[in-house]
Amino acid sequence: MEIFKFSLLALLPFLLLADVAWATGDDMRTFIVHVQPHENHELETADDRTAWYKSFLPQDGRLLHVYHHVASGFAARLSPRELDEVSAMPGFVSAIPDQTYTLQTTHTPQFLGMNVQQGVWNDTSERGAGVIIGLLDTGIFPEHPSFSDHGMPPPPVKWKGRCDFNGSVCNNKLIGARDFTAANGTSGTPSRVPPVDDAGHGTHTASTAAGAVVPGAQALGQAMGVAAGMATRAHVAMYKVCLETDCAGSDILAGVDAAVADGCDIISMSIGGPSVPFHQDPIAIGTFGAIEKGVFVSMAAGNSGPNARSLSNEAPWMLTVAASTMDRSIRATVRLGNGLYFHGESAYQPKDSAAVFYPLVYSGASGKPFAEYCVNGSLDGLDVKGKIVLCEFGLIPTIFKGAVVQSAGGAGMILMNQFPQGYDTLAEAHVLPVSHVDYAAGSAIKSYINSTANPTAQIYFRGTVLGTSPAPSIVFFSSRGPSHQNPGILKPDITGPGVNVLAAWPFQVGPPSAPALPGPTFNIISGTSMSTPHLSGIAAFIKSKHPDWSPSAIKSAIMTTADIDDRSGIPLLDEQHSPANIFATGAGHVNPEKAANPGLVYDIAPGNYIGYLCGMYTSQEVSVIASRPVNCSAITVIPDRMLNYPSISVIFPAASNSTMPVIVRRVVKNVGEVQSSYYAAVDMPESSVPVVVYPDRLEFTEANQEKSFVVLVWPRQSDTRVVQGALRWVSETHTVRSPISVTFV
Ligand SMILES: *[C@@H]1O[C@H](CO)[C@@H](O)[C@H](O)[C@H]1NC(C)=O
Ligand SMILES: *[C@@H]1O[C@H](CO)[C@@H](O)[C@H](O)[C@H]1NC(C)=O
Ligand SMILES: *[C@@H]1O[C@H](CO)[C@@H](O)[C@H](O)[C@H]1NC(C)=O
Ligand SMILES: *[C@@H]1O[C@H](CO)[C@@H](O)[C@H](O)[C@H]1NC(C)=O
Ligand SMILES: *[C@@H]1O[C@H](CO)[C@@H](O)[C@H](O)[C@H]1NC(C)=O
């Protein structure tokens, strides 16, 4: 399982070369073709539509997917000459070459305050009851007890989906299962291939979102406890769109199309890709169609942190989910020959690994290319037999490094962070004794190796430790804002648990020699892939409590109630243990209990997104996103900062010498006590930009009553290019908090 995308960077030059070859050859390539019928061209049925799509193509066989619900068009394999012909036909709007997206890869319910004994989460019968979560992923292992339907009612009558596993594998928990990976999922001619999960990722995310309660969960004997999804009563539908770690944009769009048609309430995608304009992004296009039909969309922010502007999935109609740590460590401690010791982590903790000292070697000292990363072949010819090898984080997945050390005869591996990973360590199912240590520890170990003729070390295992700190903190790999496509919308939106998450897995993990404990199989993995289904399940819980809330109201509830402090009461930290900024945390760490009762919500009608999109794109580009003709000259443009978003981003252009304030308008709806009174509090750093809210009091006398206000932000150049703070609306019972970011470009 590759959870980090380092290899993708190495592949990029190759992909560019492939592009050039295509333009000159006769090779077939997959395109998503967007088309729009003329007004007098009636397409009444799905068959009419399919027939019309086929009329664009030279031969039937080329059609991979037809889109009916969230896009107007189809995916097909075309040669360059055929593409020219298709482009010339009436109704053609655009053709986008298919892109590859990648996956962004229990203790969590308790960590999130969802104690079975107390608070709103105590009523297990309500946790997501009646709500359907559709996951687009690698498939599912349906026999896992996390998908048992014990005590589950049948799906709501609106459910129209199907299950392509044979026999009675689906049940009232797993209600839908289909495969859309292109060769198998041709729409129109149902192939009914079961969406078997060969990778494990889809089984893990589905059980995180809505898995049943399974006592005695563990991976390699660690993280023992009760496994439960966030919404234990929600139904699950799996749409397989990924093979291993790769997911084609055309398959994803087909999966979203089906999930919306089937009646899913929530779409959960732990998938990320390149940042491209929304009208060229099948995920943005498909999810816009979903949101228009009232479907909530939860998306991974990506694993490309900690660099700025590394986000994917930036559209304002998505919930963009960052990842953070929990207060659990699966401890593997390194002791050096000089007596110094350092705590690290590993999920594989062999009992027979006697605490003996082994010779210690730093592979990077050899000077061989990439030996410090312990990539395949880099240890050849080095004397590492029977030694513990110090390897550095990066280039390849860490479990692979362990395998390289093992096949070179190494006794164990100390995996050290480089500077960007800071203090964060991962507990993974390694194949030999390993301790993943932070950058400071790794640097000290390196100096020790350099300081002595015969360096030695031991790794000893301490099991699962709870109550570690800081927690939560933003993890290094969590992608950061500001948004590339639109800095006027703050992204990410929220963070949730995404480090060392235990959830269902189709098969045993760790080395083949590890004793298989009885009971179902689980795995501990990390990624924004893991935080995303947490938020999907929490959205399902809120939806079951408030069935009439729109996707944007649910999103507002999640964002405005988020925690901005960690468990010890200090502001959330990042991987360097510095205060994390809003481009890392979004609104903060999700607080499910508070999110179910936010007091006020910032709602957005789907039509408002059209005005917003017209501020960014041409009519034709907006038409592709909306899957219908849009004339931007005939509608009111909504500047990005005026979209009724639950956070605020103001950008002052560099050239402007204006001393006038920027005006941001917002509308809040009362979903709390009927009679309630809120006052505005502005938290901005001392002597930074002046921010004023008018009016600064809001009185509500009715349920669902709406009140508008404006926020005035004055430009005041300071040393800092970015100033961040918050607006809070405070009543006796609620605090409704919106982060504010002010940027001088
Ligand atoms: C659930 O929590 C509520 C609020 O804390 C409490 O009043 C109620 O008694 C709890 N119910 C159960 C079954 O524990
Ligand atoms: C489904 O069909 C395959 C192939 O016929 C068979 O091997 C498998 O056992 C079947 N599974 C179930 C659950 O019936
Ligand atoms: C199609 O399904 C078959 C049988 O399950 C599988 O072996 C094959 O890899 C699938 N191909 C694609 C592209 O999904
Ligand atoms: C190891 O020691 C040598 C000589 O003392 C020094 O030049 C080198 O930079 C050191 N390397 C590391 C990795 O500390
Ligand atoms: C778009 O709307 C404008 C203003 O209403 C109108 O003048 C123009 O003809 C419209 N364009 C199209 C292509 O309908």
What is the domain-level CATH number for residue 550? 3.40.50.200
Can you tell me which residue has the tokens 């050390």? Answer: 405
Which ligand ends up closest to the CA of 634?
A: 5
How do beta strands 242-243 and 92-97 pair? unpaired
> What number of other Cβ atoms are within 10 A of residue 115's Cβ?
12
Angle between helices 282-292 and 619-626 (to 10 degrees): 70
Which ligand ends up closest to the CA of 451?
A: 4
**d(CA 446, ligand 4 centre) in Å:** 9
The reply to whether 206 falls in a domain is yes
Measured between alpha carbons, how far is 441 from 422 in angstroms, rounded to an integer?
Answer: 10
CB 393 within 8 A of CB 421: yes
Decide whether any atom of ligand 2 lies within 6 Å of the 166 Cβ.
yes
Q: Provide the pLDDT for residue 61.
A: 62
Q: Which of 531, 469, 465, 523 lies closest to 498, judged by CA?
A: 531
The reply to whether 550 falls in a domain is yes
Selecting among 312, 529, 552, 676, the annotated active-site residue is 529
Output the residue whose Cα is nearest ligand 4's atom 3.
Answer: 450
Q: Which of 445, 465, 485 is the last residue of a domain?
A: 465
Which ligand ends up closest to the CA of 116?
A: 1
Q: Provide the pLDDT for residue 655.
A: 67
Output the residue whose Cα is nearest ligand 3's atom 6.
Answer: 184
Output the residue whose Cα is nearest ligand 2's atom 5.
Answer: 166
Q: Which of 568, 597, 626 is the last residue of a domain?
A: 597
CB 272 within 8 A of CB 484: no
Measured between alpha carbons, how far is 433 from 431 in angstroms, rounded to an integer?
Answer: 7
Show the domain range for 378. 329-465
Decide whether any atom of ligand 3 lies within 6 Å of the 186 Cβ.
no
User: Do residues 592 and 444 both lie within one domain?
Assistant: no
Q: Which of 597, 624, 643 is the last residue of a domain?
A: 597
User: Do residues 187 and 322 both lie within one domain?
Assistant: yes
Decide whether any atom of ligand 3 lies within 6 Å of the 9 Cβ.
no
CATH number reported for the structural domain that contains residue 44 in this entry? 3.30.70.80
Angle between helices 528-545 and 201-210 (to 10 degrees): 30
**d(CA 452, ligand 4 centre) in Å:** 11
Residue 681, beta-bridge partner list: 728
User: Do residues 110 and 55 both lie within one domain?
Assistant: no
The reply to whether 126 falls in a domain is yes
Output the residue whose Cα is nearest ligand 4's atom 1.
Answer: 450
Measured between alpha carbons, how far is 240 from 180 in angstroms, rounded to an integer?
Answer: 6
User: Do residues 321 and 342 both lie within one domain?
Assistant: no
CB 539 within 8 A of CB 557: no
Using CB atoms within 10 Å of the CB of residue 155, give its burial: 0 to 12 exposed, 13 to 18 middle, 19+ buried: buried
**d(CA 185, ligand 3 centre) in Å:** 9
Which ligand ends up closest to the CA of 120?
A: 1
User: Do residues 170 and 281 both lie within one domain?
Assistant: yes
What atom in ligand 3 is closest to the CA of residue 243?
14
Output the residue whose Cα is nearest ligand 3's atom 2.
Answer: 184
Selecting among 65, 68, 201, 430, the annotated active-site residue is 201
Which ligand ends up closest to the CA of 444?
A: 4
* Alpha carbons within 13 A on the beta-carbon side of 381: 7
Q: What are phi and psi of 586, to 5 degrees?
A: 60, -145
Decide whether any atom of ligand 4 lies within 6 Å of the 455 Cβ.
no
CATH number reported for the structural domain that contains residue 390 in this entry? 3.50.30.30
Can you tell me which residue has the tokens 């089984």? Answer: 203
Q: Provide the pLDDT for residue 1.
A: 30
User: Do residues 67 and 181 both lie within one domain?
Assistant: no
What contacts 564, CB < 8 A, 6 or more positions away? 571, 572, 585, 588, 589, 726, 737
Domains of the chain: total: 4
Measured between alpha carbons, how far is 253 from 261 in angstroms, rounded to an integer?
Answer: 12
**d(CA 321, ligand 1 centre) in Å:** 30
User: Do residues 592 and 608 both lie within one domain?
Assistant: no
What the block records as the tokens of 437 is 């240590």
Decide whether any atom of ligand 1 lies within 6 Å of the 704 Cβ.
no
The reply to whether 3 falls in a domain is no
Q: What share of the chain is helix, strand, coil (3-state, %, to 5)?
A: 25, 30, 50
User: Do residues 179 and 300 both lie within one domain?
Assistant: yes
**d(CA 166, ligand 3 centre) in Å:** 16
- Which pairs with CB-CB distance under 8 Å and at least 24 residues apart come from 285-288? 285/70, 285/71, 285/253, 285/624, 285/625, 285/627, 286/70, 286/71, 286/252, 286/253, 286/256, 286/257, 287/70, 287/256, 287/315, 287/317, 287/318, 288/70, 288/315, 288/317, 288/609, 288/625, 288/626
Residue 682, beta-bridge partner list: 727
SS3 453: coil
Selecting among 137, 164, 197, 603, the annotated active-site residue is 137
User: Do residues 30 and 128 both lie within one domain?
Assistant: no
Q: Provide the pLDDT for residue 183.
A: 58
The reply to whether 1 falls in a domain is no
Measured between alpha carbons, how far is 514 from 336 in angstroms, rounded to an integer?
Answer: 26
Per-residue burial over 392-415, b = 16 or more CB atoms within 10 Å of its CB, e = otherwise: bbbbbbbbebbbbbbebebbbbbb
CATH number reported for the structural domain that contains residue 651 in this entry? 2.60.40.2310
**How many residues would you count in the chain?**
745
Q: Is 137 a catalytic residue?
A: yes
Can you tell me which residue has the tokens 């001619």? Answer: 189
Measured between alpha carbons, how far is 106 from 218 in angstroms, rounded to an integer?
Answer: 8
**d(CA 618, ligand 5 centre) in Å:** 13
The reply to whether 343 falls in a domain is yes
Residues of the chain under the 70 pLDDT cut: 1-26, 40, 60-61, 105-126, 183-191, 352-354, 655-656, 717-719
In the chain, what is the straight-line distance between the N-terminal and C-terminal CA atoms, in Å? 40
- DSSP symbols for 581-641: -HHHHTT-B--HHHHT--SEE----HHHHHHHHHTTS-HHHHHHHHTS---GGGS----GG
Measured between alpha carbons, how far is 182 from 197 in angstroms, rounded to an integer?
Answer: 16
pTM: 0.91
What is the signed CA dihedral for 249, 253, 259, 260, rounded to 10 degrees? 150
What atom in ligand 2 is closest to the CA of residue 143?
13
The reply to whether 370 falls in a domain is yes
What contacts 127, CB < 8 A, 6 or more positions away? 121, 230, 231, 232, 233, 234, 541, 544
Decide whether any atom of ligand 2 lies within 6 Å of the 169 Cβ.
yes
Output the residue whose Cα is nearest ligand 1's atom 9.
Answer: 118
The reply to whether 213 falls in a domain is yes
Angle between helices 282-292 and 249-262 (to 10 degrees): 10
Q: Provide the pLDDT for residue 14.
A: 28
**d(CA 597, ligand 3 centre) in Å:** 45
Output the residue whose Cα is nearest ligand 1's atom 11.
Answer: 122
Q: Provide the pLDDT for residue 146.
A: 95
Decide whether any atom of ligand 1 lies within 6 Å of the 115 Cβ.
no
Decide whether any atom of ligand 4 lies within 6 Å of the 452 Cβ.
no
**d(CA 194, ligand 3 centre) in Å:** 9
Q: Provide the pLDDT for residue 244.
A: 82
Q: Is 327 a catalytic residue?
A: no
User: Do residues 91 and 112 both lie within one domain?
Assistant: no
Distances (CA, A) of 446 to 82, 176, 238, 441, 680: 59, 52, 46, 9, 53
What contacts 150, CB < 8 A, 6 or more positions away? 212
Output the residue whose Cα is nearest ligand 2's atom 1.
Answer: 166
Decide whether any atom of ligand 1 lies within 6 Å of the 119 Cβ.
yes
User: Do residues 261 and 150 both lie within one domain?
Assistant: yes
What atom in ligand 4 is closest to the CA of residue 362?
13
User: Do residues 423 and 559 both lie within one domain?
Assistant: no
SS3 63: strand
**d(CA 451, ligand 4 centre) in Å:** 8
Q: Is 529 a catalytic residue?
A: yes
Measured between alpha carbons, how far is 194 from 261 in angstroms, rounded to an integer?
Answer: 19
Residue 677, beta-bridge partner list: 699
Q: Which of 348, 349, 281, 344 lies closest to 317, judged by CA?
A: 281
